[in-house]
Amino acid sequence: MKPLHASALLGLLFSCATAVADTFVLKDGTELEGVILREEGENYVLEVQVTKSIKDERVVPKADVTKIVRVMADATAFEKIADVYPVPDLLTLGDYDRRIAAVNGFLKEHPGRSNVAKAKELLQSLTDERTAIAAGGLKLGGLVISAADFRANAVELDARVLAAKIRDHASRSEWLAALRAFSALDLEYRTTQPYQEVLPLVKQVMRTHQTEIEQNLATLDERIKKREAGLSQMSGDDRSVTEAALKEEAAAIESRYQEEKKNRLAWVTPSPYHKASLEDSRRLAESELKRVMALPAPTIDSGKAYREAWEAIAGGDKKKVETALRDAKSARIPARYLTVLEDAAKPVLGNL
């Protein structure tokens, strides 16, 4: 067997494959994943994968190849789009459009191949879901909720969307984002079931956030001293450049802090070297944790009250509608939802 020759391409990085690699099995048992660039008499000239980021051009005698295991181009391409469906909850229409475009691209590039039927099924599922979302529906908990069902359960579903965002942020240790989502949930949906369900997680997030803030405050002076010591050991030019960069960063942090305070953002962004933001965060974490720990169990369910009012309106019985609207107001449903109910009830009650 003749030796394999590496070309000058060995070691060059590449960004993506332009063809699908087959497997070449040699007489000595060696398996090479590669693409035939050309044939030169009794030899194959292969582009062989060395690592994920390196290719090598090699010459392999045809006589040394016992078998070539072909990989279908459409099979490899289909692998890249196979996970576009099912889609996660709460995707935007733009997210659906990008997934649909990927499947359409596959169908255009690989017409009549083995995975076309599967790709068409993906496309149909994506298109159907997108149509439902565009009409005012929602995907939550892996289920697509129609616009009509969403309107009938708007209070609870809006609360569940915020609760889902809290869980998502918490799962990625994004404590600040989770707490900001909770602020929105706490503002209007305190008497809903989703609020009660996510509250234990919120308490845990508050404790974790508080602990991190307290650790930053406890070590702040020491970290500042270490930073100053490091600066003092730098050469003149390096120190000047670093000090200027730190000054610019501090100014940006202070500007953000002042803007967040101006906009009355409860959970300001804490910065490890910004004492005011850390102290504000610690005070709020302490007070909020104390507040939510003392919250009494709700005696009403505003999501249920809204749903029952909607059902009464659909039923068309005037007395039941009047009772349901009173119950909805007593359940402390936000005014914007009450407006929707009152507008929907006008054909039954007349002008309120």
Handedness of CA 166, 170, 171, 173 (dihedral sign): positive
Q: How confident is the model at residue 35 (pLDDT cuts 50, 70, 90)?
A: confident
Range name among 9-23, 38-52, 87-101, 169-183 with the lowest pLDDT average:
9-23
Closest CA to 22 of 67, 71, 57, 64: 71
Tell me the CATH architecture of domain 1-71.
Answer: Roll (2.30)
Give the integer Cα–Cα distance in Å for 101 and 107.
Answer: 10
Tokens of 74: 């459409």
Mean pLDDT of 62-67: 92
Report how far residue 111's alpha carbon sits from residue 276's, in angstroms, rounded to the nearest whole number: 61
Smallest CA-to-CA distance from 48 within 62, 34, 60, 36 is with: 34
* Residue spans per domain, the chain: 1-71, 75-152, 156-293, 302-349
Higher pLDDT, 11 or 265: 265
Q: Where are the beta strands (DSSP E) in 88-172?
A: 138-140, 143-145
Average pLDDT value over all residues in the chain: 89
Cβ pair 2, 61 in contact under 8 A: yes
Backbone angles phi, psi at 32, to 5 degrees: -115, 130
Q: Does 3 score more than 60 pLDDT?
A: no
Joined together, the tokens standing for residue 147 give 């616009």
Q: Which two tokens stand for residue 148?
A: 């009509």
d(CA 126, CA 85): 7
- What pLDDT does 14 receive? 34
Sign of CA dihedral 221, 222, 225, 230: negative
Question: In this predicted model, which residue has the larger pLDDT, 332 or 97?
Answer: 97
| 43 has pLDDT over 60 | yes
Confidence bin at 206 (pLDDT 50/70/90): very high
177: pLDDT strictly greater than 50: yes
Q: In percent, how much of the chain has pLDDT > 70?
A: 92
pTM value? 0.74
What pLDDT does residue 5 have? Answer: 42
Task: Residue 255: count other Cβ atoms within 10 Å of its Cβ.
Answer: 10
pLDDT at position 114 over 60: yes
* Per-residue pLDDT at 53: 73
Give per-residue pLDDT as tens, 221-237.
999 999 999 999 998 88
Averaged pLDDT, 145-154: 95
Q: For residue 252, name the pLDDT band (cuts at 50, 70, 90).
A: very high
pLDDT tens for residues 284-335?
A: 999 999 999 999 988 999 999 999 999 999 999 999 999 999 999 999 899 9
pLDDT-derived band of residue 52, with 50, 70 and 90 as boundaries? low
Best CA proximity match to 48, nearest among 33, 31, 66, 28: 33
pLDDT band at 22 (very low <50, low <70, confident <90, very high): confident
- Name residue 23's beta-bridge partners: 33, 69
Rounded to 10°, the helix 116-134/93-109 angle is 160
> What span, in angstroms and rounded, lies between the C-alpha atoms of 220 and 214?
10
**SS3 label, residue 35:** strand
Spell out where the chain has E strands.
22-26, 31-40, 43-51, 54-61, 65-69, 138-140, 143-145
CB 39 within 8 A of CB 23: no
Given this model, what pLDDT does residue 33 score?
Answer: 82
**Which position has the token pair 């309120």?**
352
155 closest CA partner among 302, 297, 343, 329: 302
Q: How far apart are CA 246 and CA 230, in angstroms?
A: 13
As a whole-number percent, the residues of the chain with pLDDT over 90 amount to 76
Task: Examine the pLDDT at 254 and tell me if it is beyond 60.
Answer: yes
Give dist(CA 307, CA 3) in Å, integer: 77
Average pLDDT over residues 278-288: 96
Enumerate the β-bridge partners of residue 24: 32, 68
Tokens of 188: 């209007």
